[in-house]
Amino acid sequence: MRELVILSGKGGTGKTSLTAAFASFSSDMILCDADVDAADLHLLMAPDIQQKTDFQGGNEAIINPDKCTRCGLCIELCRFDAVKSTFEIDPIECEGCGVCYDLCPEKAIDFPVTTCGEWYISDTRFGPMVHARLGIAQENSGRLVALVRQEARKIVQKNKIDLILTDGPPGIGCPVIASMGQANAILIVAEPTISGIHDLARLAQLAAHFKIPAIVCVNKYDLNLDQTKAIKDLAKEKNITFAGVIPFDKNFTESMIQGKNIIETYENSQASIAVRKIWEKVMAQPAMNIERLI
């Protein structure tokens, strides 16, 4: 089993469009959408959901008014100002730490597990797909990312699938870290901007820390050739494989409107040719030709 995780320093760089395009190049693959906070790979994959499961992560404190004596200890103890003067707990402010539940002298606080979202196993025209949806204002996205990847690995093990293609979350936070573990390599999709260079440097540092080989490509490279060159120079300095560049192409948008990837709709466009070259270079890397433990 091999896994390629596609990441970016911010949202909107084109990593989901690139992941969807890559899906056209492999016949023995499973898709995994690890961007659970803002999942959108399903918009291009039209998944047929086969299994839907609630995701439960964390707890939420609830005061039982029949037991509460209004002693005020919970208000004093709460560091998040979640307990109001009416002796009700604001679910948005509550961090689920459990201090009030543990220390309430009347045991008047319940602490049930909360349902934060759902995860799915689906069929697509390219093969199976594991994805999820986190509820509005819900947390524990790192745990949900880990769960989605774990379920993808179970399917790989059962069906002897060769490749996991993971659309990762943006940034460098907990969800990103959860999406990287045990991956063969990460592909960083960078933009030719000053912030894009900064984002690349942060992701490269994160990959180096976890000893995961990093590869970089530049999307919409022709919007700023100077910044594209700066990204190439940074990749060389950081010993990151540079996989290539993708020109700005409105066909990406046209494909999304049709619910398809650019390879399906504009296979002979310059952007499609560039994407194919990047795919071939990524798959030729030594890191992508070593099996990882599931």
Expressed as residue numbers, the domain containing 72 is: 61-111
Same domain, 160 and 195: yes
Q: Kindly report the three-state secondary structure assignment for every residue of 98-156.
A: CHHHHHCCCCCEECCEEEEEEEEEEEECCEEEEEEEECCCCCCHHHHHHHHHHHHHHHH
- 121 and 18 within one domain: yes
Residue 55 parent element (H or E)? strand 48-59
Do 156 and 267 reside in the same domain of the chain? yes
**Predicted local confidence at residue 292, as pLDDT:** 62
Residues 275 and 265 sit within 8 Å (Cβ to Cβ): no
Say if residue 105 is in the same domain as residue 170. no
pLDDT over 80 at 140, yes or no: no
Q: Residue 22 in 3-state DSSP?
A: helix
Residue 294 lies in a domain: no
Is residue 156 located within the same domain as residue 280? yes
280 in any annotated domain? yes
Give the residue from 189, 172, 191, 276 showing the smallest Cα distance to 240.
189
Q: 229 and 145: one domain?
A: yes
CA distance 42 to 62: 35
Is 209's pLDDT higher than 70? yes
Helix (H) / strand (E) element for 281: namely: helix 270-283
**How many angstroms separate the CA atoms of 40 and 256, rounded?**
11
Residues 192, 267 share a domain: yes
Specify the CATH number for the domain of residue 122.
3.40.50.300
Split into its structural domains, the chain has a count of 2
* 141 pLDDT above the threshold of 90: no
Same domain, 82 and 162: no
* Same domain assignment for residues 67 and 181: no
What is the share, in percent, of the chain residues with pLDDT greater than 70?
Answer: 98
- Is the domain of 186 the same as that of 255? yes
Pair 107, 38: CB distance under 8 Å: no
Q: What is the per-residue pLDDT across 211-269, written as a single tens digit (0 to 9) for each?
A: 999 999 999 999 999 999 999 999 999 999 999 999 999 999 999 999 999 999 999 99
Q: What is the pLDDT of residues 22-66, one digit of tens each?
A: 999 988 999 999 999 889 999 999 999 999 999 987 788 999 999
User: Are 34 and 102 within 8 A, CB to CB?
Assistant: no
Asked if residue 137 has pLDDT above 80, the reply is no
pLDDT at 193 over 70: yes
User: Model's pTM, two decimal places?
Assistant: 0.87
Contact between 131 and 34 under an 8 Å Cβ cutoff? The reply is: no
70 and 158 fall within a common domain = no
Distance CA(61)–CA(169), nearest Å, equals 29
133 lies in a domain?
Answer: yes
Q: Residue 62: CB partners within 8 Å, gap ≥ 6?
A: 89, 109, 110, 111, 112
Does a structural domain hold residue 180? Answer: yes
Write the CATH number for 75.
Answer: 3.30.70.20
Q: Is residue 102 in some structural domain? A: yes
- Whether residues 76 and 168 share a domain: the answer is no
Residue 12 lies in a domain: yes
